[in-house]
Amino acid sequence: MPPITFRHARATDLPTILTLLADDAIARSRTGYAEEVTPAIDAAFKEISADPNNEIIVGEQDGQVVATLHLTYIPGLGRGGLRRALVEEVRVRSDLRGQRIGEALMVDAMERARARGCALIQLTTDKRRHEAQRFYARLGFVASHEGMKRPL
């Protein structure tokens, strides 16, 4: 496998990131799905880039963005002041699956979270994503919680 480097996303990566986010049947089934950089997405990216507690990470291989995730670092009062990392919007380009790119992406995210003082990393994954759940379990995640959501 060609080497992958992980770095913060730049504004010029946004179209590719949106393509990665859209390359997913469950994501496409949801409301608000967008494949173009709308003003709302541009504003969200600017806000994330300016916030030290939010990071969009991309994996680059042969000069192409092939994977992405969103990390949020969250201070907390529980468990003695435990800081946690939340992972959202994990994607690997679908034609490149099975090459352990996702594993490298998540290992990089866990290293970033540790470096930021997090003692816990967490995510929610749609119950229909059985393969994703096996993937996260192999990386040491435990499905100890119900992930409950509500539109507002």
Contact residues: a second copy, CB under 8 A: 14, 17-18, 21, 27, 30-34, 38, 40-45, 47-48, 51, 53-54, 56, 70, 72, 74-83, 85-86, 88-89, 110, 113-114, 118-127, 133, 136-137, 139-152
Distance (Å) of CA 83 to CA 74, 116, 121, 136, 145: 6, 9, 9, 20, 18
CB nearer to a second copy: pick between 61 and 135: 135
Q: How far apart are CA 81 and CA 85, in angstroms?
A: 13
CB nearer to a second copy: pick between 81 and 100: 81
Crossing angle of helices 130-138/101-115, nearest 10°?
60
Q: Least distance in Å: CB of 83 to a second copy?
A: 7
CB nearer to a second copy: pick between 3 and 149: 149
CB nearer to a second copy: pick between 4 and 118: 118
How many C-beta atoms surround the C-beta of residue 121 within 10 A?
19
Please say whether the beta carbons of 58 and 68 come within 8 A: yes
Q: Least distance in Å: CB of 1 to a second copy?
A: 24
Q: Least distance in Å: CB of 92 to a second copy?
A: 15
Q: How many residues does the chain have?
A: 152
Q: How far apart are CA 65 and CA 4, in angstroms?
A: 9
Q: Least distance in Å: CB of 108 to a second copy?
A: 13
